[in-house]
Amino acid sequence: MLAPRQRPESPALAGASVSARGLGKSFGGKPILTSVDLDIAPGEVVALLGSSGSGKTTLLRMIAGLLAPSHGSVSIGDDVVADAGTGKLVPPERRSIGMVFQDYALWPHMTVAGNVSFPLEMKGVNGEERARRVRDALDLVDLGAFADRSPSTLSGGQQQRVALARAIVSQPSVILFDEPLSNLDRELRDQLVVDIAALVRSLGLTGVYVTHDHGEAFAIADRVAVMAGGGIVQIAPPEHLVARPESAEVASFLKLGLIAPGHLADGKVTFQDSADVLATPGGFNGHAGPGDLFLPRGALRIVAPEAASLTGTVVRSTFRGEGYTTRIQLSCGFDVDLPNDERLRDNAPVGVDVVWDRARWFPATATSV
């Protein structure tokens, strides 16, 4: 576990704001990122969450200075560090940033301390000051006793903590993470993401964290930016994303419940590829036409078929330690996984009741996550 300590008593920069305005990037004429606006407050941690090809890594690399924007600008604090209009591009080493990569990027011929010390050597920090700051950084990630070890003798989690120490040793104002835990097993990832979040906050750093894993994003971020198609489709605190997704695509990507495409008319949903029709109390007034019915998992419960809004059959009940998760194939053509206190027999008829005041109707759009 990373040491829950405060920033070492040495000169350091407070977290800086990060701002993107109309930021875009194209490769070979193909847009990868399109007109992104993003504001991150000093000391705030924002996760960029999306599937492969959503643009999240491209956005991070332009904040870092590893890519020049095709259009738009990036500012860190009061300084414009990239501007496609003027051609300005401040290099990464002059942006007061630290970076942590997926593959650790440690030099095998250097010791742990040597790896952490390297950024300070490049900045010309003197030997005594450099040694003190390396010790402080390694202590913060609970690796003080490993300073003289070779990185190759460490576990994956320990190597990533060395990379984290190297990222913070220069006392940056912004720290950037590019899917840093994707090479680790689930249990270690769950532990490290909590520890990293605690350390970044204790140091007062501004953070940008790229991931495709919503569990990681929710654990580390003050706000999560869900990305798709080269843009941000929703940005909000994790609890707000879960409670109020703004589109079926966001709800589906976050696996928040049943997403059922269909057509709404006269307070009834006709499901896509099914003859089933479902009456919707309240009728989602003001909406009609194609779209998606969103039924959050917490709005669904297993009941007897005769008391149900939806009916189906049990595919499988799986024990999960504190109860069962039952996969149900609904007659309207969709599958849903719901908790249950007892094992239900495969192929048994079952009903699903709906708490309608939690249901949402999303009119059809062209965006997808």
Percent of the chain with pLDDT over 70: 95
- Position 2 pLDDT exceeds 70: no
Mean pLDDT for the stretch of residues 84-90:
97
Mean pLDDT for the stretch of residues 27-44:
94
Mean pLDDT for the stretch of residues 35-48:
97
CATH 3.40.50.300 fits 18-243, yes or no: yes
- Position 9 pLDDT exceeds 60: no
Give the pLDDT band of residue 321 (cuts 50, 70, 90).
Answer: confident
* Domain ranges within the chain, ordered by starting residue: 18-243, 253-363
The 10s digit of each residue's pLDDT in 232-272 is 999 999 999 999 999 999 999 999 999 999 999 998 999 98
Beta strand residue intervals within 172-323, DSSP E: 174-178, 206-211, 223-228, 231-236, 257-265, 268-271, 277-279, 289-296, 300-303, 310-319
Beta-strand relationship, 310-319 and 289-296: unpaired
Give 145's contacts (C-beta < 8 A, 6+ positions apart). none
Predicted TM-score (pTM) of the model is 0.89
Give 234's contacts (C-beta < 8 A, 6+ positions apart). 225, 226, 241, 245, 246, 247, 250
